[in-house]
Every structure is written in structure tokens, then in C-alpha cells.
DNA sequence: CTTGCCATGTTGTCACTGTAAACATTTCGA
DNA sequence: TCGAAATGTTTACAGTGACAACATGGCAAG
């Protein structure tokens, strides 16, 4: 059986072909529209009706593709994690792996949260309800594997790699969250310093 | 001028004196009821009507004491921060200050998040809008001062205390958040280990 | 004590939300 | 070709935060 493609396919313009009753790929279009709204991040809630209007479809049409609003948000969250993972992988490569790459990975994490606040928050603040997850394609799972592998390669001699990985993750995640909630202000240099303290050194 | 008492005063039973038109101290009662609901943490939203019913008052009565729902949530959030700060101070003292006290402070932070998930999340996830804050009484401000002082006393020889403080805060905050969102499971021993890595050692 | 002001609480209502049910249209396989 | 399945629409309903108009009772001035 063909595994259901869960990733977003931003294909056509989005609006359905002017008067057509059926849309073509509503699910993808809705997710794309949702992401756009999250990028705009007016701070307000993400309502079904507004989303449906963006896509040019009636509100209840969304229920043909998602059991409820939560499921829709889950899909958006998942896409968020996938993007985060992609950017991190990219940063890792660009820095040439190793300790530098690991640090870049961490900084990218925080920067992502700062640049896409609503998406980042949505992605993580979502109470992981049991969705039958295709483990190989789950954004969160991918990101963690990357992290764990990074620890292995960047800090080869560390005594407890799992603890170290958790430490690193918690650090960047906390930094990201504190910035999102405006407990502390975004400051690239500061982030580099704080992250470097753990990711660069041994710890 | 008398500074307005912003803290919660859980005095009487809560329900207004059986048939009395006026309540006595509705504001405090509402906050107390709100905290109770957050402790129960059914996961659902905190609605004005439910809250009003708990206190035995009509929904719109709340608007005599809070400009809008956000303000009410702000008050709850503030109380949450105050409680967190109190517990941390207590832990600090119990551990006799110093490096041990500092570590205890950090663990208490994470434990608090685990024990009062809804309250913790509410307290931090709230977009710090400009409320004219009585700085000396603001929960968050108090907590940060405590942290900053802790770094000073626990790690006297550290090169950049501000960065170290941020590091410590981000670490425990990230740990707390990841646990709340079920990215990682609560595990007292694990927390001690991870926190100890930074708070105990130098870093 | 009386009177009237004003803080506080209530009722009614509005726009908006997620979502369910019934109906319409299109696509696609037998 | 034809009917079933997939997809979209309309209508409706209960619940939400919020506002305006009205009711009540405590309290201070006369």
C-alpha cells in the first residue's frame, strides 16, 4: 500500500481554478495557507473560517480532510518541525559538521524560533496526542536523531551522550521559548555566546 | 498612597454568602477559582462562564474586576510566577545556599513545571504585553533577581555572570517546556543529572 | 434617619467560533 | 453508462468573549 504523503506540496497558486467545484488538492492548499498566516503572525488565533476563505472554499469543506481543528493544527505543527529539521541539516552541512556544525545547529534552532515565532510555538506547544506516527517521516523524530548524531560526532569523548544531548536540546529550546515569550530580547550575539558555552565547549 | 495588593487572598470559602448580592472580594475569589481549575488541568480552556459559575456569580460580573479575559489570565500568570519564586527561594534556603542551593533552585523550577503544568505554561506563554508593572512585586522580576543573585553567590569566579545566568535559566526553562509538551518524559534523576551538568559544574 | 450616589452584580444580546447534518456536485471504476 | 464514493455547500446549533442597559445594596453627606 502506498504510504500517505504527509508533507506539504505547495503546488499551484492555491485558489481553486475559478469556479471549479472541486479544488484539486485542498489539503495541501489549506496547509500552505495556514503556514502563510502563521508567518504573518498577527498574534491572533488561526480560525477555520479565515483559513477556508483564504483558500476560497467553505468552512466546513476542511472537515473532508481533517477530522477536526486539532488535526489541522497537528499537520501544521508537523510541517514546522520538518522545516526546522531541514534548516538545521543545512546549517550542519554548511559549517562542515563537527563541533562547529553542532554549534551552528543550535543557533539555527533559536534563530528559527525567532524568525517563525508562531510556527515554532505551534510546533512544540502541541500536546503530542497519540497520532499513529510514521516514525521515519515525523518531523520531531528526525530532528532528534539529527541532534543525537551531532552529539556523537561533535563530542566524541563525552561520558554520557544522552544526557549531553538532552542538555543541548533543553538549552536551545529554553532560549527559544524565552525569546518568543519576550522574557529576554533577541540578540544574535548573545545567543551565540550562550549556545557556545555548551555546544562549543565540553560540558 | 496605598500600593494596590496584587496577590491572591484565599480567604473565605469562596462562594458568596448565600444570596448576598455583593460578593465581598470577588477578584480574589475568581483568581483562587482559576488557580484551582489550572491545578485540575483537564487540558481544556479556561472559560469565563465556568469560572464565574465556580464562584457563584454571573459571567459578566468578572468584567467589573478585569477589563477583559486577557487581564484575568495575566493576573493568574503573575500569581504563578510568584509561587514559583517562593518555592525556589524556599529550596535555596533549605539547601543552605551556595552551589547546592543554586542547583536546588534549578531543579525546583523544573519540578514546579511538572507539578503545575497548566499554571506554569500560562505564566510563561503569555505574551508580556505592556502592563504597568509594579517592578518590585512582579513575579517574573523577582524570580530573575533571585537567579542572578544565585549565580553571583554560587559561581563567584565565573567570567561572564550574565551569560551564565541566561544559560542556567534557558536550560531549566527548556527542560521544563519539553517535559510539559511531552517531548521528553519526566524523570527526577534525569533532571538532576542534566541540571547538575551546568548548575553544579562550572560551564 | 433619610437621600442619593456609585460600586458591584444581573439580564439580554451580539458577533463569532467549531462542528454536525442534509444536500449538491464531480470523479471514477465496474 | 451508471451508480457509488469523494468532495464541496448550506444551514443550523451550542458555546464563547464582550457590550449595554438595568437592578441592587452599601455608604457618605445633609
Q: In order of start, what are the domains of chain B with their CATH numbers?
A: 8-65 (no CATH), 70-200 (1.10.357.10)
Reported as a pLDDT band with limits 50, 70 and 90, residue A202 is: very low
The predicted pLDDT at position B94 comes to 96
Range with lowest mean pLDDT among A9-13, A121-125, A195-199, B83-87: A9-13
Which positions in chain A touch B181 (Cβ < 8 Å)? 124-128
pLDDT tens digits, chain B, 203 residues: what are they? 333 333 343 333 344 455 565 667 889 999 999 999 999 887 789 999 999 999 999 999 999 999 999 999 999 999 999 999 999 999 999 999 888 899 999 999 999 999 999 999 999 988 666 554 555 666 666 777 778 888 888 888 788 888 888 999 999 999 999 999 988 999 999 999 999 887 655 44
Mean pLDDT of the region A169-186: 94
Question: Mind spelling out the 3-state secondary structure of A39-50?
Answer: HHCCCCCCCHHH
Distance (Å, whole) CA A202 – CA B30? 49
CB–CB contact B166 A184 (8 Å): yes
Nearest chain A Cα to B161, which residue? A194
The predicted pLDDT at position B177 comes to 96
Mean pLDDT of the region A13-33: 71
B47 touches strand D (CB under 7 A): yes
Which positions in chain A touch B188 (Cβ < 8 Å)? none
Which positions in chain B touch A160 (Cβ < 8 Å)? 193
Closest residue (CA) to C1' of nucleotide C8 is B22
Q: Is the pLDDT of residue A198 over 90?
A: no
Which residue of A125, A127, A178 is in closest CB contact with B170? A178
B131 vs A74, residue with greater confidence? A74
Q: What is the dihedral of CA B181, B184, B186, B192, to 10 degrees?
A: -120
The predicted pLDDT at position B13 comes to 38
Contact call for residues A84 and A139 (beta carbons, < 8 A): yes
The predicted pLDDT at position A4 comes to 36
Copy the grid coordinates of residue B81.
510566577
Reported as a pLDDT band with limits 50, 70 and 90, residue A43 is: confident
**What are the pLDDT digits (tens) for A121-134?**
999 988 666 554 55
The predicted pLDDT at position B2 comes to 35
Q: How far apart are the CA of B55 and the nearest CA of chain A, in angstroms? A: 28
Nearest chain A Cα to B117, which residue? A127
Nearest chain B Cα to A161, which residue? B194
Reported as a pLDDT band with limits 50, 70 and 90, residue A11 is: very low
Torsion-angle region of B75 (φ positive above 0: left; ψ -120 to 50: alpha; else: beta): alpha
Cell 508537523 identifies what position?
A78
Contact call for residues B150 and B157 (beta carbons, < 8 A): no
* Whole-number distance in Å between A74 CA and C29 C1': 33
Mean residue pLDDT of chain A comes to 83
Q: Which nucleotides of D are covered by protein (CB under 7 A)?
A: 6-11, 15-21, 24-26
Length of chain A counted residue by residue? 203
Q: Which nucleotides of C are covered by protein (CB under 7 A)?
A: 7-12, 16-22, 25-27
Cell 488541568 identifies what position?
B41
By the CB < 8 Å criterion, does B174 face chain A? yes
At CA A62, angle to CA B121 and CA A40, rounded to 5? 50
Q: How far apart are the CA of B107 and the nearest CA of chain A, in angstroms? A: 13
B126 SS3 class: coil
Substitution target in A141, A148, A194, A198 with the highest count of B β-carbons within 10 Å is A194
Which residue of B125, B173, B197 is in closest CB contact with A203? B197
The predicted pLDDT at position A41 comes to 80
* Residues whose beta carbon sits under 7 Å from strand C: A 20-22, 45-50, 59-60, 63, 68-70; B 16, 21-24, 26, 57-61, 64-65
Q: Give which of A106, A110, A120, A107 is closest to A39, Cα–Cα.
A: A120
Helix axes A69-94, A117-125, angle to 10 degrees: 110
Mean pLDDT of the region A24-43: 90
Q: How far apart are the CA of B193 and the nearest CA of chain A, in angstroms? A: 7
Reported as a pLDDT band with limits 50, 70 and 90, residue A7 is: very low
The predicted pLDDT at position A128 comes to 60
Amino acid at each position: 500500500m502506498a504510504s500517505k504523503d504527509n508533507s506539504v506540496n505547495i503546488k499551484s497558486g492555491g485558489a481553486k481554478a475559478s469556479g471549479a467545484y472541486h479544488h484539486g488538492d485542498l489539503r495541501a492548499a489549506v496547509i500552505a495557507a495556514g503556514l502563510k498566516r502563521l508567518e504573518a503572525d498577527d498574534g491572533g488565533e488561526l480560525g477555520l473560517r479565515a483559513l477556508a476563505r483564504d483558500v476560497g472554499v467553505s468552512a466546513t469543506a476542511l472537515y473532508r480532510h481533517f477530522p477536526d481543528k486539532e488535526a489541522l493544527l497537528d499537520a501544521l505543527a508537523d510541517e514546522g518541525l520538518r522545516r526546522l529539521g531541514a534548516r538545521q541539516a543545512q546549517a550542519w552541512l554548511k559549517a562542515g559538521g563537527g563541533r562547529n556544525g553542532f554549534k551552528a545547529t543550535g543557533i539555527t534552532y533559536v534563530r528559527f524560533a525567532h524568525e517563525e515565532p508562531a510556527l515554532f510555538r505551534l510546533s512544540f506547544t502541541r500536546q503530542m496526542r497519540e497520532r499513529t506516527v510514521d516514525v521515519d517521516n515525523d518531523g520531531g523524530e528526525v530532528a532528534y536523531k539529527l541532534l543525537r548524531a551531532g552529539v556523537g560526532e561533535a563530542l566524541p569523548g563525552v561520558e554520557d551522550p544522552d544526557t549531553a544531548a538532552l542538555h543541548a536540546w533543553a538549552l536551545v529550546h529554553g532560549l527559544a521559548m524565552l525569546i518568543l515569550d519576550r522574557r529576554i530580547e533577541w540578540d544574535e550575539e548573545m545567543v551565540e555566546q550562550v549556545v557556545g558555552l555548551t555546544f562549543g565547549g565540553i560540558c
